[in-house]
Homo-oligomer: A and B are copies of this chain.
Amino acid sequence: MVSIKDIASACGVSIATVSKALNNHKDVSEATKAMIRETAKKLGYLPNSQARALKTNRTYNLGVLFAEQANSGLTHSHFAAVLNSFKNEAESRGYDITFISRQIGDNKMTFYEHCICRNVDGVFVACVDDFEDAEITELLNSSVPTVTIDNKSPNCPAIVSNNEFGMRSLVEYAYNMGHRKIAYIYGDTSAVTSTRVKSYEDTLKSLNINIRSDYMLQGRYHDPITTEQLAAQLVKLDDPPTCIILPDDFSAIGAITAFEKLNMSVPEDISIMGYDGIILSQYLNPRLTTFRQDTERIGAEAAKQLIALIKKEITGNVVPVVIDGYLEEGSSVKRLTDD
């Protein structure tokens, strides 16, 4: 590969001059710069990013931590969409993105160690549902600039979807459609879940509806199998709900499966609502009423915040950026006549 040294000897100047010319420093004459740039192009010179990083400690590389309990990875529609917009935004600002794993070559390591080895400028912790995990906290408490989504940590900027508003929208929608027996299968224990659960309860209260513990079941995110069992359980209650809110759209498939097996039809016999608003949701039968998260903005905002943090334009102690969404009305909720 052609290096700065080759350009230097071709131009009859020192390598320092070449470096400064290519980085457009002020103490190289325009004439020399022009000549250096020209020969650089002619020789097909390309800077070696690791040599540069070694000196400057800047890699223009962002780590992405993409792991969750369900381990669906990139096939997880919602997170894939978030990552996609993160990627687009980061790339347009000159940053590459690299997935953070637990190994480089033969060396096993923690996520944090991986970041240090690779010297990423910062890391986007996406698609993580357990922020209590030892490896995650190690990373979040480290000096590596970090941005998270859906996590309220004092340590690093966070992009949070407006889960309070989202859940309220869903419950109020069901209420307005005449439902009073609204069940909720919620996901794995997490900040998102507790926000949604609180909002579910608060909204019911504000609507003067009693909170029933038999209508609240802990399920799992992105897990149709678990959801299927729980949904079946709910409709077999003596006093079953008329509407069920599911942890996410993909899990809603589980509920649909459960009702098919029980020969119940949606929304005639039972109404359901999802969360996320993935593309799939609008092609399910019936179209799913769900709360659409703005994945486009979430990802882009995460990239902006992370880069701002890297450039020290902001500090870690910021108030989370809240991204709104909207209720996507499908046809999975029946309007009850007795309303």
What residues on B are CB-neighbors of A12 within 8 Å?
A: none
B46 close to A98 (CB less than 8 A): no
Contact code string A85-98 (vs B, CB < 8 Å = 1, else 0) = 00110011010111
Q: What number of copies of this chain does the assembly contain?
A: 2
What residues on B are CB-neighbors of A310 within 8 Å?
A: none
Interface presence of A263 (CB below 8 A): no
Query: Whose C-beta in chain B lies nearest to the C-beta of A109?
Result: B46
B101 close to A99 (CB less than 8 A): no
B60 close to A104 (CB less than 8 A): yes
Query: Whose C-beta in chain B lies nearest to the C-beta of A286?
Result: B285
Q: How far is the CB of A278 from chain B (nearest CB, A)?
A: 9
Interface presence of A337 (CB below 8 A): no
Interface presence of A262 (CB below 8 A): no
B104 close to A94 (CB less than 8 A): yes
Interface presence of A80 (CB below 8 A): yes
Q: How far is the CB of A282 from chain B (nearest CB, A)?
A: 9
In-complex Cβ contact of A81 among B1, B75, B117, B284 (8 A): B75
Complex Cα–Cα for A101 and B88 (A): 9
A113-B46, A118-B49 are known contacts. Are A253 and B283 too (CB-CB below 8 A)?
A: yes
Can you name 28 A-B pairs with beta carbons within 8 Å? A1-B116, A46-B113, A47-B107, A48-B54, A48-B119, A50-B54, A50-B119, A60-B105, A61-B98, A74-B74, A74-B87, A75-B80, A75-B81, A75-B279, A80-B80, A87-B99, A91-B99, A92-B103, A94-B103, A94-B104, A94-B107, A96-B99, A96-B104, A96-B118, A97-B98, A97-B99, A98-B98, A280-B280
